[in-house]
Amino acid sequence: MQRSQSNNSIFYNVDWITVLTYLILIFMGWLNIYAAVYNEEHYVITDISQKYGKQLIWISTSLLLAFIILIIDENFYTAFSYLVFGIILFANIAVPYLGREVKGSRSWFRFGDFGIQPAEFMKFAANLALAKFLSNQNIKIADYKNTFLSLLIIGVPCIVIMKLQDETGLAIVFAAFIFTLYREGLSVNYLLLGFLAVVLFILALLINNLYLFIIIGSLCTISLLFIKRNAKNLFIIAAIGLTACSMVRGTTYIYDHMEDHQKIRIDVLLGRGTVDLKKEGYNVNQAKIAIGSGGFVGKGYLKGTQTKYDFVPEQDTDFIFCTVGEEWGFVGSSVVIILQLFLIIRIIFISERQRSPFSRIYGYGVASVLFFHLTVNVGMTIGLAPVIGIPLPFFSYGGSSLWSFTILLFIFIKLDSKRLQILR
Amino acid sequence: MNQLSDRKFIIIGVFILVGLAYISRLFYIQVIDDSYKLDARNQAFRYTTEFPIRGYIYDRNNKLLVYNEAAYDLMVLPKNVKNIDTLDFCELLGITKDQFLKKMKKAIMAPNSPRKESIFEKQLSPTDYASLQEVLYRFPGFFVQSRTLRKYPRKIAAHMLGYIGEADKHTTEKDTYYNEGDYLGISGIEKTYEKVLRGKKGMHIIMKDVNNRDMGSYMNGLYDTAAISGLPLTTTIDADLQEYAEMLMQNKIGSVVAIDPSTGEILAIVTSPTYDPNLFVGRERNKNYVQLSLDSIGKPLFNRSTMASYPPGSTFKLIMALIGLNEGVLTSQTRYPCARGYPPLGGHPKCHPHGSPLDLEGAIGASCNSYFSYVFKSVIDDKKYHDTYKAYANWREIATSFCLGTKTGSDLANELRGNVPSIAYYDKIFGKGSWKASTVISLGIGQNELGITPLQNANLVAIIANKGWYYTPHIVKAINGNPNDTILDRFKVKHYTKIKDTAVYNTVIAGMARAVEAGTAAALKIEGIPYCAKTGTAQNAGKDHSVFVCFAPKDNPKIAIGILIENAGFGATYAGPIARLMMEKYLKGKITRPDLEKKMLETDLIHKDKNAKVTKQQ
């Protein structure tokens, strides 16, 4: 009886390590938002006219959301996956037409001072739908049809957000689900192909295409020397060679059709052409200066000059990591990266202990999305990734993203807490 | 399924790999690479210099010679200049748009740079500054740097005081204390006492935001340093005497130096023509400088008192007499003939008509060339040295001990050493062993290659007045009111010449006294003050220089004067009266010969000369 009694507690079997890590991260995030926009006139950290005051509201409502998620029956998430996916997808399609345009962005629903960005919530909805689809016992991902359908679940929201809302950053995040698909049996060839595409994309922009063709041709020829020369192998190598060449050609096509600011961001990252540090190179350079000037232990809390005095743009949202780097130094930024990675890897371990494929697949989705955000967000501030406007999980200022990450994570915590009851 | 769950290792591996890559990258940019720290400092900090107040300069009676006035330089940091209303700005400064663009271009081009502060407009007046300051926030990239300018209430002693200029690249490379454009002493005691006068610059670190607004002091000023004011100097100059001497010397080319023999303190040091030191301050400075440097006859920028090397002429005969007496080849009774010149060499060097033969006192009084040629020959051919070289070396050593051909070591800037020719020099000219006393005979009368600065000349008189010793002539008496500052220690060391026998000096002094009582300077007596003097001429390519050396009173001398007026002829005509008036002024405080004073004040040797030339050409 005692067991069933504790079974009824909503906190029963909750993975407290994950929850604690989450709490530490949002607390650190809040402190850093305070530091990023700190000024002496509004020094009260709870002042809701300031971003740090507002963030406190977002944090408390997030905790409330987390609580609600833990109350709701776990079967709700499995049963209504597609429905939730559908509703949120619809909201995303509708927002450009119904939402108010703010600063040229058409991805917000506005309620007075506060706004909601439905694209942020597409992540957990797509994750639910993908988990639902892939956990079907009859589904084998190796099947081309199923691969196509899973890519559709990821691709449709991605295209909607990119094309209708013009939020490239939020759309690109859906690429993270490639890790889930890989874990669930997607042929490694796809990953290699993706990897090849990325490498060739970079090379094609840096090296004269003609040389690249010659290199690809010679590599194919040389590889022929080491394998059995039969029709099948010849065909495979020819196919790889042609694909590679078309990727190179495709790069030029894609690059030419990119928007100017995207071209510039890629140029800045790859160091192509001359980068004007006052214009296109400004953000990344300032971010690097802020982080680099932090030194080993940082300048001290609230003592940063680069972020506080607005040298770094978007210092409280997408470039919040600069404040960490400047004020807490190498030690602090490493701690943040390690904490985030700890949470992500913890989620993967928890996923692997699930008996239900749905929970496992969902868990991988959570880990993948968090990892993607971490990689791109931190990467762009230290010049290892192009500037893509996506938030640093739990750190960046903003209600939608914090809510979105909280929902994403806590549905998983809920599922995990019921891992002994859920069978599929 | 088992196989698939192994894929988690690959996924975790990828995640950790990325994490490690990021942490390594962070380690590189945060710990290893310092350039970002520098960039951050350049961006977020503005280092403002607080310039210290430069030390004031006083005369020996605490009369103010140099003080400061506030001025404001408008500075520009071109890279921060953006979105300003140029027209409005030009109107404020009263410049045209073209001038504005030109100035901006200058601030951007090398050696300046867009990232470096440079002076946009120099030395705004306090009123201009006041009106500008209120609206300066509208013009990012511009700010005001306060400076101090030197002011000279009495317009005297320009060469001695020197002037201040901006540090150039060369200076900043040599001494990192200075930044380009900082003010520092360029000449005079502004230069020699630069480190005392300048004080210490203060540094304030101001934080600024992306819009270049001041965000307050960095770390509440923990790393700021306050400026330390420069120390005041008390000079040995008597401002009234200096001023009087400059007045007397006006319209004459030459130099007067007056020394208190008992202390080595320089009472007055005049180079003429001189200029108003205020001309070298302020925005007109360069213009004035050019104008002064264009005067090719007067050369007012040339500091004759320490840098002009004149043949010592008659003054040197005093040294010749001392050496002769000291070496025992001459007594006060020794008589030598004169035949309008030195007889053994057929009347060369030449002499003016006077009684002959003369004894030593008479020769000093008459400044006989022949007599001192004999003395020189007897010194160089002195049997006890057996050879000319040894005798010459001895002669030269003694002469040098009177601070001839060597710097006095005073604290005046840019002192030259003058010249007493060396043996090596004559060997080069005449060949080894091919010269003797008669070859270089006119050294005995202070001609030939002998060169002496007016400062050395005055010091020479001081040595005779002291009978064989001197303190290094100096211009600063006390630093920050302290006469015992260690910097001044070297002026408290008595230096002795090679001739220590006071009896020897007494003979020469007696000769000099007689020159005033009944000799060439008889017309220049000062009532109640017996003094010693020697008139003279220094032969010269053009008209002879008028030379006069004297000290007063005869016993316990308080002032020794050396004066030289270029191309003015006989010493008693111009040089003598001026020295006499100065002695009276200094010792009595009033003038008993207003006629002489009036005549000297009205004498114009520069323009008369010019007029004469013009007439000649016609």
CATH of the domain at B433: 3.40.710.10
Q: Given an 8 Å threshold on Cβ–Cβ distance, is B45 in contact with A305?
A: yes
How long is chain A?
A: 424
Phi-psi region of B467 (alpha: psi -120 to 50; beta: other; left: phi over 0): left
Test mutation, A198, A322, A341, chain B, max B CBs within 10 A: A341
pLDDT band at A258 (very low <50, low <70, confident <90, very high): confident
Residue ranges making up the domain that contains B425 = 239-288+300-614
C-alpha span between A41 and A208 (Å, rounded)? 55
pLDDT band at B614 (very low <50, low <70, confident <90, very high): very low
Residues B555 and B514 in one domain: yes
For B144-183, give the DSSP string. Answer: EEEEEEEE-TT---HHHH--EEE--HHHHHH-TT--TT-E
Q: Residue B256: which H helix or E strand, with range?
A: strand B254-260
Residues B172 and B252 in one domain: no
State residue B565 phi and psi, 5-degree precision.
-120, 125
Query: What are the pLDDT digits (tens) for B208-223?
Result: 777 767 777 777 777 7
Number of structural domains, chain B?
2
Output the pLDDT for position B567.
85
Residues B98 and B244 in one domain: no
> At A37, which amino acid appears?
V
Query: What are the pLDDT digits (tens) for B172-187?
Result: 888 888 887 788 999 9
Using an 8 Å CB-CB cutoff, list chain B residues near A306: 40, 43-44
What are the extents of the domains in chain A? 2-178+280-417, 198-256
Residues B275 and B213 in one domain: no
Give the burial class of B195: count Cβ atoms within 10 A of its Cβ; 0-12 exposed, 13-18 middle, 19 or more buried: middle
What the block records as the tokens of B497 is 């010449």
A240-254, A301-315, B307-321, B488-502: which range is least confident on average? A301-315
* Residue B541 or B564, more confident: B564
Rounded average pLDDT over B288-309: 87
Q: Given an 8 Å threshold on Cβ–Cβ distance, is A293 in contact with B37?
A: yes
For residue B7, the chain A residue with the least C-alpha distance is A183
B229 with B199: CB under 8 angstroms? Answer: yes
Output the pLDDT for position B62.
93
Residues B160 and B259 in one domain: no
Using an 8 Å CB-CB cutoff, list chain B residues near A289: 36, 39-40, 43
Output the pLDDT for position B143.
82
How many Å is the Cα radius of gyration of chain A?
23
In our burial notation (b when 16+ CB lie closer than 10 A, e otherwise), range A233-268 reads eeeebeebbebbbebbeebeeeeeeeeeebbbbbbb
Output the pLDDT for position A103.
64
Residues B368 and B454 in one domain: yes
Residues B180 and B280 in one domain: no
**Structure ipTM:** 0.91
Residue B304 lies in a domain: yes
For residue B5, the chain A residue with the least C-alpha distance is A183
C-alpha span between A299 and B36 (Å, rounded)? 13
Q: Given an 8 Å threshold on Cβ–Cβ distance, is A329 in contact with B44?
A: no
CB contact set of B329 (below 8 Å; sequence gap of 6+): B375, B378, B379, B382
Q: Given an 8 Å threshold on Cβ–Cβ distance, is A309 in contact with B21?
A: no
C-alpha span between B89 and B482 (Å, rounded)? 49
Residues B171 and B283 in one domain: no
Would you call the peptide bond into B111 cis, given omega within 30 degrees of 0 as the criterion?
yes
The nearest CA of chain A is from the CA of B218 a distance in Å of 9
Rounded average pLDDT over B89-110: 85
The nearest CA of chain B is from the CA of A234 a distance in Å of 30
pLDDT band at B226 (very low <50, low <70, confident <90, very high): confident
At A272 the three-state DSSP class reads coil
> Nearest Cα to B417, choosing from B455, B383, B465?
B455
State residue B476 phi and psi, 5-degree precision.
-110, 130
Using an 8 Å CB-CB cutoff, list chain B residues near A290: 40
Percent of chain A topping pLDDT 70: 94
pLDDT over 50 (residue B613): no
Percent of chain B topping pLDDT 90: 34
C-alpha span between A174 and A123 (Å, rounded)? 7
Beta-bridge partners for A26: none
User: Counting one residue from A and one from B, how many pairs have CB atoms under 8 Å apart?
Assistant: 110
C-alpha span between B582 and B601 (Å, rounded)? 13
Beta-carbon count within 10 A of B210 CB: 14
Residues B404 and B309 in one domain: yes
Distances (CA, A) of B304 to A12, A287, B269, B579: 102, 63, 10, 17
CATH code of B124's domain: 3.90.1310.10
pLDDT over 80 (residue B202): yes
Using an 8 Å CB-CB cutoff, list chain A residues near B27: 330
Test mutation, B4, B12, B22, B211, chain A, max A CBs within 10 A: B22
Rounded average pLDDT over B236-257: 93
Of B15, B44, B208, the CB nearest to A345: B15
For residue A375, the chain B residue with the least C-alpha distance is B18
Last-in-domain residue among B194, B210, B235 = B235
Residues B415 and B546 in one domain: yes
Q: Given an 8 Å threshold on Cβ–Cβ distance, is A305 in contact with B44?
A: yes
Q: Which residues of B touch A (CB under 8 A)?
A: 4-5, 7-8, 11-12, 15-16, 18-19, 21-23, 25-27, 29-31, 33, 35-37, 39-41, 43-45, 207-211, 215, 218-219
Residues B199 and B310 in one domain: no
Residues B406 and B467 in one domain: yes
> At B279, which amino acid appears?
L
Q: Given an 8 Å threshold on Cβ–Cβ distance, is A182 in contact with B11?
A: yes
**Strand B57-58 to B233-235 pairing:** parallel
The nearest CA of chain B is from the CA of A94 a distance in Å of 36
